[in-house]
């Protein structure tokens, strides 16, 4: 796919307009640097001609000092131009990275299940990094070096029209060649960027699964896949580099021909007495100066092709739309307090390649997970949700958050007698009224305060401390060196599974939703932590509607109602006490056999 100049222009304008003052100053400095480059050869020409004519030494010294001063000033300007251009490039690319991250966070789970974290890191960071030179230098460098070309040619025409005409012809041929070869490498750079993304996605997955790989003796398989990806990456990089070398070598050949022609004409004019030796130097120096702007423009065209590949992939990412769309005319906010829940004939299938099991993360074909699921919960009801792995328990909870939308039917929330389809509720409002604690707790490399509030500075310390006290975590907080300012490691390193889950409970307390979803931890906990979690669960479900994916008998005894899912259908649903006393109930048989043995 080719990229148009208009697409480049829109991208450049979008992310450089906020820095227009800095960009303008950068342009002024760059053009000043170009002016000095054009002026200094004139000084040297004058020095040569005066020296040949026998001028006084003090005159020659003054001219030499002027030459050195201009050269030093040019170097100072070059340093400032480089520094400012890097700042402009980083600011622009960071803004683009921010837009990409914000956009990707808003995409639905089907997108994130189809793209590994490693791939997304490469697309958001790696693809955008190649745009840095485009933002910071491309337009200014191309425009500036274009003006330098024009200035050199004008000065050459002023010295002698024949030299000027020769170099003008060379310049036009070189620029036309550049224009025709502008897009030659774009598809190859896009393929190279995609190969990098796949490689980093592979690395992220395998490094995360190192323990399983080693315990399963799967190292040879991983290494074979690693080398296959490296071969693909090498081939795509070589193809892209080859296309760039076609461009570079073409320009080098043209430059050599142009330099030879300029030297030949200048030498002829000097021998015939039409120009001075200083003029010959000037023509030669300006000819070599032509090579520099053409080389710079060539390199910028190379960066443009890399930028074109990165821009195409960034635009593709920004153009990805979420299957979960915000309500166009959202209903009034959900009421505070316990919420009623209703599933009406809900059917759901994961798209191809998405997870179709309860948190297994395994890729499968399109498979219906929930079949015409219908049930209702009154406000304040605690539902114990049972079922084997793959029966649809986790899928059911994902629908309540609108991480996915059902294929058929509706999910409704609200006060008793006034329920609304959650697709008509603003997403922020829905997720403020629904809270979830999963078995896999995500903790960030940040302070305890930020981990509990999700970086919301409006939540005061007094409220945080009250929630920790209610959950029995005050003693744990007192053991931390800096209290709420203690920095936790990413992933919760240094915390037990029970402590991490209690911190997740605290998040829910601070959020105070009307519906709580708890995926109960199935791992064995020490008695002290287990008592803390039991106490936390008791407080968490109080005065709230709750759905608990249960694995233990103690949790089921807390439930008001029990529902058993079987292959995405309601196998049994009713009041816990009634089902437990019914000899024909499947729930009763589960209690007799033991939940831990049956529901695995």
- Asked if 274 and 365 sit in the same domain, the reply is no
Query: To the nearest whole percent, how much of the chain has pLDDT over 90?
Result: 16
Residues 57, 176: one domain? yes
Confidence at residue 564, expressed as pLDDT on a 0 to 100 scale: 92
Asked if pLDDT for residue 122 goes beyond 70, the answer is yes
- For residue 456, is it within any domain? yes
State whether 377 and 257 are in the same domain.
Answer: no
Q: Report d(CA 305, CA 132) in Å as an integer.
A: 13
Confidence (pLDDT) at 412: 95
Does the pLDDT at position 563 exceed 90?
yes
Tell me which of 397 and 592 has the higher pLDDT.
Answer: 397
Q: 272 and 363 share a domain?
A: no
Q: What is the pLDDT of residue 186?
A: 65
Position 562 pLDDT exceeds 80: yes
Which of 283, 318, 353 is the last residue in one of the domains? 318
Q: What number is the average pLDDT over the span 132-138?
A: 70
Question: Closest Cα partner for 379 from 343, 339, 342?
Answer: 339
Q: Which residues is 349 bridged to in the sheet?
A: 368
Helix H, strand E, coil C: the string for 163-224 is HHHHHHHHHHHHHHHHHHCCCCCHHHHHHHHHHHHHHHHHHHHHHHCHHHHHHCCCHHHHHH
The answer on 362 and 254 residing in a single domain is no
**What pLDDT was estimated at residue 182?**
59
Pair (310, 374) in one structural domain:
no
pLDDT tens-digit series, residues 423-437: 999 999 998 999 988
Tens of pLDDT, residue by residue over 450-509, are 989 988 888 899 999 998 888 888 888 888 888 899 888 876 667 777 778 888 888 888
186/281 same-domain check? yes
Residue range of the domain that includes 531: 340-598
For residue 323, tell me if it sits in a domain: no
pLDDT classification of 347: cutoffs 50, 70, 90: very high
Is 330 a domain residue? no
User: Does 327 map to a domain?
Assistant: no
Q: Answer whether residue 110 is part of any domain.
A: yes
| Residue 326 covered by a domain | no
Instruction: Please check the confidence at residue 584 and state whether its pLDDT lies above 80.
Output: yes
| Nearest alpha carbon to residue 521 among 412, 420, 437 | 437
The better pLDDT of the pair 600, 290 is held by 290
CA distances from 302 to 13, 133, 184, 222, 315 (A): 20, 11, 10, 35, 20
Please check the confidence at residue 333 and state whether its pLDDT lies above 80.
yes
Q: How many domains does the chain have?
A: 2
Does the structure show a pLDDT above 50 at 357? no
Identify which has the larger pLDDT, 267 or 435. 435
The residue-averaged pLDDT of 65-75 equals: 90
Half-sphere exposure of 262 (CA within 13 A, CB side): 31
Cα(269)–Cα(221) distance, integer angstroms? 72
Last residue of a domain, one of 318, 348, 367: 318
Q: Which residues pair with 566 in a beta bridge?
A: 569
What CA–CA distances, in Å, run from 465 to 289, 442, 461, 534?
A: 69, 21, 6, 20
Burial of 170-204, coded b for 16+ CB within 10 Å and e otherwise, reads bbeebbebbeebbbebbbbbbbbbbbbbbbbbbeb
Task: Specify the pLDDT at position 179.
Answer: 64
To the nearest whole number, what is the mean pLDDT of the chain?
Answer: 81
Same domain for 115 and 230, yes or no, is yes
- Cβ neighbours of residue 223 closer than 8 Å, sequence gap 6 or more: none
On whether residue 335 sits in a domain, the answer given is no
Q: Is the pLDDT of residue 360 over 60?
A: no
Residue 424 located in a structural domain: yes
Answer yes or no: do 304 and 446 share one domain. Answer: no
**What's the rounded mean pLDDT across residues 378-401?**
90
pLDDT over 90 (residue 359): no
pLDDT in tens, 516-546: 998 865 555 667 777 777 888 888 888 999 9
pLDDT band at 252 (very low <50, low <70, confident <90, very high): confident
Backbone φ, ψ for residue 352 (5° rounding): -55, 135
Same domain, 345 and 313: no
Question: Is the domain of 419 the same as that of 474?
Answer: yes
Q: 3-class DSSP state for residue 585?
A: coil
Judgement on whether residues 192 and 279 belong to the same structural domain of the protein: yes
Boundary (domain end) residue, out of 318, 351, 368:
318
CATH code for the domain in which residue 91 is found: 1.20.1560.10
Report the alpha-carbon distance of residue 468 to residue 475 in Å, rounded: 9
For the cut 90, the answer to whether the pLDDT of residue 573 exceeds it is yes
Quote the pLDDT of residue 529. Answer: 73
CATH value at residue 533: 3.40.50.300
């Amino acid at each position: 796919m080719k990229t148009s100049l208009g697409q480049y222009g829109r991208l450049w304008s979008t992310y450089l307009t906020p820095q227009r003052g800095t960009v303008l100053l950068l342009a002024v400095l760059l053009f000043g640097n170009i002016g000095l480059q054009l002026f200094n050869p004139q000084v040297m020409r004058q020095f040569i001609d005066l020296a040949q004519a026998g001028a006084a030494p003090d005159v020659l010294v003054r001219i030499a000092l002027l030459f050195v001063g201009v050269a030093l000033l040019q170097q100072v300007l070059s340093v400032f131009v480089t520094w400012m251009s890097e700042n402009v490039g980083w600011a622009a690319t960071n803004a683009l990275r921010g837009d990409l991250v914000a956009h990707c966070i808003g995409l639905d789970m089907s997108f994130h299940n189809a793209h590994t974290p490693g791939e997304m890191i490469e697309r958001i960071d790696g693809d955008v990094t190649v745009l840095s030179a485009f933002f910071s230098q491309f337009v200014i460098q191309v425009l500036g070096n274009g003006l330098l070309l024009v200035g050199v040619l004008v000065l050459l025409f002023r010295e002698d029209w024949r030299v000027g005409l020769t170099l003008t012809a060379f310049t036009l041929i070189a620029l036309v060649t550049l224009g025709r070869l502008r897009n030659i490498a774009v598809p190859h750079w896009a393929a190279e960027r995609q190969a990098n993304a796949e490689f980093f996605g592979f690395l992220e997955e395998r490094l995360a699964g190192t323990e399983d790989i080693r315990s399963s003796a799967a190292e040879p398989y991983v290494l074979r896949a690693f080398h296959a990806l490296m071969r693909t990456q090498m081939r795509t990089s070589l193809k892209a580099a080859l296309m760039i070398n076609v461009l570079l070598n073409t320009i080098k050949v043209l430059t050599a021909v142009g330099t030879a022609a300029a030297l030949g004409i200048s030498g002829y004019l000097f021998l015939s007495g039409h120009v001075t030796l200083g003029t010959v130097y000037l023509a030669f120096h300006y000819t070599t100066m032509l090579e520099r702007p053409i080389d710079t423009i060539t390199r910028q065209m190379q960066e443009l092709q890399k930028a074109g590949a990165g821009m195409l992939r960034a635009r593709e990412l920004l153009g990805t739309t979420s299957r979960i769309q915000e309500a166009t005319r959202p209903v009034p906010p959900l009421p505070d307090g316990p919420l009623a829940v209703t599933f009406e004939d809900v059917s759901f299938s994961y798209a191809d390649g998405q997870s179709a099991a309860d948190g297994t993360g395994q890729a499968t074909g399109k498979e219906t997970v929930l079949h015409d699921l219908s049930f209702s919960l009154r406000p304040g009801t605690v539902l114990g949700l049972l079922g084997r792995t793959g029966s649809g328990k986790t899928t059911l909870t994902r629908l309540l958050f609108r991480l996915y939308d059902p294929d058929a039917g509706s999910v409704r929330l609200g006060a008793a007698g006034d329920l609304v389809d959650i697709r008509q509720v603003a997403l922020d409002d829905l997720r403020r009224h629904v809270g979830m604690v999963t078995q896999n707790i995500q903790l960030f490399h940040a302070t305890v305060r930020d981990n509990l509030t999700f970086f919301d500075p409006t939540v005061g310390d007094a409220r945080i401390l009250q929630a920790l006290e209610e959950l029995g975590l005050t003693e744990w907080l007192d053991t931390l060196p800096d209290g709420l300012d203690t920095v936790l490691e990413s992933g919760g390193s240094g915390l037990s599974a029970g402590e991490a889950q209690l911190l997740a409970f605290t998040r829910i307390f601070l959020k105070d939703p009307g519906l709580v979803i708890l995926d109960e931890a199935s791992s064995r906990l020490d008695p002290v932590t287990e008592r803390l979690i039991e106490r936390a669960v008791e407080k968490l479900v109080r005065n709230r509607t709750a759905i608990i994916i249960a694995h233990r008998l103690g949790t089921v005894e807390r439930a008001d109602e029990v529902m058993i899912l079987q292959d995405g259908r309601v196998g049994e649903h009713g009041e816990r006490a009634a089902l437990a006393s019914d000899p024909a109930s499947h729930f009763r048989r589960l209690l007799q056999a033991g939940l831990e043995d049956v529901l695995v």
